Each structure stands twice: as structure tokens, then as C-alpha cells.
Copies of this chain bind each other. A is one copy, B any other.
């Protein structure tokens, strides 16, 4: 990669890092992506409702919250035309290079930030170098680097002799496992012959590449709202129907859902709360939680048991319960044919010390929706890990990426796409 390109990519990554935006609020981010794609000169650029299947978005914030981030994006320079097309939270984009006959290759990068505070210490590079987050969120999982890699690959392929079609999917809302499903169902993956998804870090240092990440846990992220009847806790305890008792009974029994013979499952009641005052029998309570499984079936088993627990915990305490889906993602696997191509590209790259064939994620990712969609239509998919030195763990305040790894990611992915092209000829 040319030094000038590399420097530009780092500037882009730092700009995105300064403006982390959570799910369905990636207004500034989308605007910057649009600017870059137009600069490069893509053949087609999809932005807005066309990118995401109708009615498939979960966990969309209310209008006030959307408006607040929309306004903020405008203040920091988002383009009016992009703001207009993404109104209502239709963030993300699909950029298409049409280079004639040849395979249709997809690259999926996610673009959202997390709602957590970034470290303020001087030994945290974004602080020292002046690009610490300016919103209430943080790019604590490297999606700023992912978006940047997407732009880098677009530019590199544009300048290459690639024959065929390249689609780069800039996906919103991965942290809530909310964006993958509507993007997968949007139809733009159905003609993709080979899909690559990418993630930096994952405890792999700069110079490592994992050609085929697997071990995705299927996940269902839910919210349960219990509604009971309040009463004065001193005077009329019998008149209440206690939503906090329902919630506590549910928590105890959720964690006690039986393990499954077929493989690992997980349950977590990760955010809970209820009640308004110590002297009132609590009228409302909630559990926001998740179930996971090594396979989609194992996740579904756990989910069914969880729903049975939640329903009966409510009924036991005279409460009703409303369940809603916040996000979800299936399990998926990386196809060997693609893994081989990526492994070759990594092996030939002199900046890669340790090309690795396979490793497990041990977590969840909604890229699996896109991978599954491609595989259902007869294509192949692989999830590629790009090592990066990261001082703090993913999702922590001191997470940061080693910017050298961005160029490595761009190069390996570009070479992999060219490798796919070669093979299809």
C-alpha cells in the first residue's frame, strides 16, 4: 500500500473514532462513508431504506433519541442529503463496483460504536493523539477500523484488474445483533458468490491472520417487561402483585435452565431492574438478557425454556410479562474453499507473521445472517480475523487498535478477492 493511501486511511479511522454512534444512529458515520465512496468513484451506492429489509430492524430507539443523534451528526458536519436518506435510523450503506463479467464478491464490515465511556488517561493513544471520542459512546470493538478497511479495499480493487462485481456492505447495529438480519433480508446478498467478513483483534496480535473464524454462538437477545400491581408495602402488602418477585424468580430459574447434551448453551440476565420506592410493592420490573447456543437449535432450545420460565414467573406473582426481541444471530461456519484462498493470501503477505487456518470466536456476531444468506443461495462465506495489538480487551475503556493492522487487513482482503477472481476465471 502506498504511504499516502495509508495515511488517508488512518485519518479516516481517527475521524470515525472521534464520532462513535450506536445502532441505528450511525448518521455521521454513514455520511463519511458516502463521501469516501464518492471520492473513490463507485458504480452504485445504496443508502437508506433500500439497504435494509422492511420491518426487520429490532431495537430501533424512539424518535427523540434518533433525533438527538441526527441533530448531533448535522452539527459535526454530516451531509444534508445523507441525513435525509438515513432519517428514521436507516443507516449503513452498500457500495458496488461493477467491473464486467466475473464473480460477485461481497465484503461485510460493521460500523457502529458502543455506549460506553472511553479512557481519559494520557497513555491511551486516542487521548494522547487527540482523537478520543466526542460522543457519549466509544469505538471499543474496532468497527472504526472495519469501516476504514472497507473503504481501503474498495479503493484497492478499483485500481486493480479485478473482473466481476464487488459489493461492500457497511452494516449498522452489530453490537445489538440487530443490523445483520435486515441487511441479509434486503436482497443484495442473494447474488453474491463469495462473502468475506472481517474483524480485527480478538486477542490476535498485529501480524496474525485467521483465515476462517468459527465457533459463533447463535444468540437471541430479549427484553422481558413484567407488569404487576403496586400497593403500599406497609399498609396493604397483600394488595400488590409484585413484579420484582416475578423478576427474581425468573432470574433464578433462567440460569438453571438445563445444559444440553448436544453442545454449549449460555444464559445471562445481563441488565435487570424494578420498583420505584422502598415502600411500594413494585409494579414493574424488567430483564434484558440473552440466550446462546453452539448451534441455532441449541439457542432455540434455551430460548424456549427461557420463555417458559418468564411466563410462569409472571403468572406465579399475578403479573403479566411482555417479551420482545432486541437482537439475534444464528450460528454459521466458514467454508473451506474460501478459507483456503484467504490463507494463501495471508501466507504470501510479508507483513503477516502467523497465518492461521482456523480459530473460534466463542461469542456471537450477526455477520452470520449474511453468511447464511449467501450460503443458502449457493455461495461461500468466510469470516476473517485480522490481528491487531490491543492494549485493553474488546468492549473495555482502553481498547484501541494498532493502526498498522489496517493496511494488513486491506492487503490480505484485497488479495483474497483477487484470488477468488482468479479461481473463478
Q: Which residues of A contact B (CB under 8 A)?
A: 217, 219, 221, 232-240, 242, 244-245, 247-249, 251-253, 255-256, 258-262, 264-266, 268-282, 285, 288-290, 292, 301, 308-309, 311-313, 315-318, 326, 362-364, 395
Contact = CB atoms under 8 A, between A and B. Distances in A.
A234 B272 contact: no
Contacts of A238: 258-262, 301
Contacts of A301: 238
Nearest to A239: B261
A282 B238 CA distance: 26
Sorted nearest first, the 10 A-B pairs with minimum C-beta distance are: A273-B273, A255-B256, A312-B316, A270-B278, A233-B268, A248-B251, A271-B275, A235-B362, A238-B260, A248-B248
Nearest to A282: B270
Secondary structure of the A contact surface, majority rule: mixed
A269 to B, nearest CB: 5
A264 B233 CA distance: 12
A315 B312 contact: yes
Contacts of A278: 221, 268, 270-271, 288-290, 326
Nearest to A221: B278
A232 B362 CA distance: 10
A268 B237 contact: yes
A237 B234 CA distance: 20
B276 A274 contact: no
Given A253-B245, A255-B245, A301-B238, A270 B266 contact: no
A213 to B, nearest CB: 13
24 contacts: A219-B234, A221-B278, A233-B270, A237-B259, A238-B261, A238-B262, A244-B269, A245-B253, A245-B255, A249-B249, A249-B252, A255-B258, A259-B259, A259-B266, A261-B362, A268-B281, A269-B275, A270-B280, A270-B281, A277-B395, A279-B290, A279-B364, A308-B315, A316-B316
Contacts of A362: 234-235, 261
B271 A277 contact: yes
A265 B268 CA distance: 17
Nearest to A285: B272
A281 B272 CA distance: 12
Contacts of A262: 238
A241 to B, nearest CB: 9
B234 A217 contact: yes
A249 B240 contact: no
Nearest to A269: B244
A278 B316 CA distance: 22
A273 B273 CA distance: 4
Given A248-B252, A272-B272, 18 more contacts: A232-B363, A234-B266, A234-B362, A240-B258, A252-B256, A255-B256, A269-B282, A271-B276, A271-B277, A272-B282, A273-B274, A275-B288, A277-B395, A279-B363, A279-B364, A308-B318, A309-B316, A312-B313
A118 B247 CA distance: 28
Contacts of A318: 308
Contacts of A237: 258-261, 266, 268
Contacts of A292: 233-234
A258 B318 CA distance: 12
A363 B237 CA distance: 11
A290 B221 CA distance: 31
A265 B259 contact: yes
A264 B259 contact: yes
Nearest to A262: B238
Contacts of A235: 261, 362-363
Contacts of A233: 266, 268, 270, 290, 292
Contacts of A252: 245, 248-249, 252-253, 256
Given A274-B273, A278-B221, A236 B261 contact: yes
Nearest to A309: B316
A233 B265 CA distance: 11
Contacts of A280: 268, 270, 395
